[in-house]
C-alpha cells in the first residue's frame, strides 16, 4: 500500500509581495514566507524599516528586497507593481485604524481607513490576479482582515466596516478567479501584541474586555499568525479559496 503524501508547505521558486511589512503582522508574514523559500518583496510607505528587514533576512540566508508602495494611492501602487514584475503570492497586510465611538466618526477618518483597508486591498488583489491570469499561472492572495471582520467591537464601527468589506470581496473574487487557479482567502487575527496595539493593552477596561473574549486566555503574538499565512500560500491549501482562517483564540466561537 502506498500512503498519500502531504502536499508541500515549501514556497521555493515563488515570489511574494507583502504590504504593510515594515512592522507587526506584515513583517511576520514576510519572515514566514521567506523562511519557507519564497523570494519576498516587502512593501510599505516608508523604506527605512523595510531595509532593516531586508538586511536581517539576507543575513539569515533568505531572499528579500524592498519597495515603496502606498496602497491608498492607486497610481503609485500600479507604478510600483509595473517596476517589480510578476508575483505568485500576495499578502495584503497594510492597514490602519481610526477608532472612535460611532457617534463621533469623522468623514475624513472614515475615508482614510477605507482607502487603505478596503479600496487599497481590493485593487491590489485585482492587480495581482490580473498578472496571474494573464500569465496563465496559479497563485495565492491572502488578505489580512481581523476577527472584527466577523463580530462587532466597541469604538470599531469604521474598522469593522472596512474588514467586513474585505471578507465580502474576497468571497466574490474567489468565485470569479477559481477557474484560473487563483485562490484568495483571508486570515483573521485576534488582538496581536505589537507596537501599534500597545495603547489598547495599556487601557485596563479594554484589556479586560479582550481577555474576557479570548478563550485560550492569552493575547496573540505575531508568531501565531505566521503559520496560517504559509499554509494558505502553499500547495497544502490548494483546495482552499473564498474562506476565512480565524486565528482568534476562540473569540468568535460563541
What would the DSSP string read from start to end of 97-135?
Answer: ---B-GGG--HHHHHHHIIIIIIIHHHHHHHHHHHHHHH
Q: Which of 87, 159, 191, 251 is catalytic?
A: 159
Place of cell 480565524: 246
Element (H, E) at 34: helix 24-35
**Rounded-to-integer distance, Cα 248 and Cα 107, Å:** 30
**Rounded-to-integer distance, Cα 181 and Cα 187, Å:** 19
How many Cα atoms sit within 13 Å of 242 on the Cβ side?
A: 11
Is residue 93 within 8 A of residue 19, CB to CB? The reply is: yes
Buried b (16+ CB within 10 A) or exposed e, 165-174: bbbebbbebb
**Rounded-to-integer distance, Cα 186 and Cα 91, Å:** 9
- Verify whether residue 36 is a known catalytic residue: no
Active-site annotation, residues: 159
Amino acid at each position: 500500500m502506498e500512503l498519500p503524501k502531504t502536499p508541500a508547505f515549501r514556497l521555493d521558486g515563488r515570489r511574494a509581495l507583502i504590504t504593510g511589512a515594515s512592522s507587526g503582522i506584515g513583517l511576520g508574514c514576510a519572515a514566514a514566507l521567506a523562511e519557507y523559500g519564497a523570494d519576498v518583496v516587502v512593501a510599505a510607505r516608508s523604506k527605512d524599516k523595510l531595509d532593516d528587514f531586508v538586511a536581517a533576512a539576507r543575513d539569515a540566508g533568505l531572499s528579500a528586497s524592498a519597495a515603496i508602495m502606498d496602497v491608498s494611492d492607486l497610481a503609485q501602487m500600479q507604478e510600483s507593481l509595473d517596476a517589480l514584475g510578476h508575483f505568485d503570492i500576495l499578502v495584503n497586510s497594510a492597514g490602519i485604524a481610526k477608532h472612535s465611538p460611532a457617534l463621533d466618526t469623522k468623514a475624513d477618518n472614515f475615508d482614510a481607513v477605507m482607502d487603505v483597508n478596503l479600496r487599497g486591498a481590493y485593487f491590489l488583489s485585482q492587480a495581482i490576479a490580473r498578472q496571474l491570469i494573464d500569465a496563465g499561472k496559479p497563485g495565492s492572495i491572502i488578505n489580512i482582515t481581523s476577527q472584527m471582520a466577523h463580530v462587532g467591537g466597541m469604538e470599531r464601527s469604521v474598522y469593522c466596516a472596512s474588514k467586513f468589506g474585505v471578507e465580502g470581496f474576497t468571497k466574490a473574487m474567489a468565485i470569479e478567479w477559481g477557474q484560473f487557479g487563483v485562490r484568495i482567502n483571508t486570515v483573521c487575527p485576534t488582538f496581536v501584541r505589537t507596537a501599534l496595539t500597545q495603547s489598547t493593552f495599556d487601557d485596563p477596561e479594554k484589556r479586560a474586555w479582550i481577555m474576557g473574549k479570548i478563550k485560550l486566555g492569552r493575547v496573540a503574538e505575531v508568531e501565531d499568525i505566521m503559520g496560517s499565512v504559509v499554509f494558505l500560500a502553499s500547495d497544502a491549501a490548494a483546495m482552499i479559496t473564498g474562506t476565512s482562517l480565524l486565528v482568534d483564540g476562540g473569540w468568535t466561537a460563541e
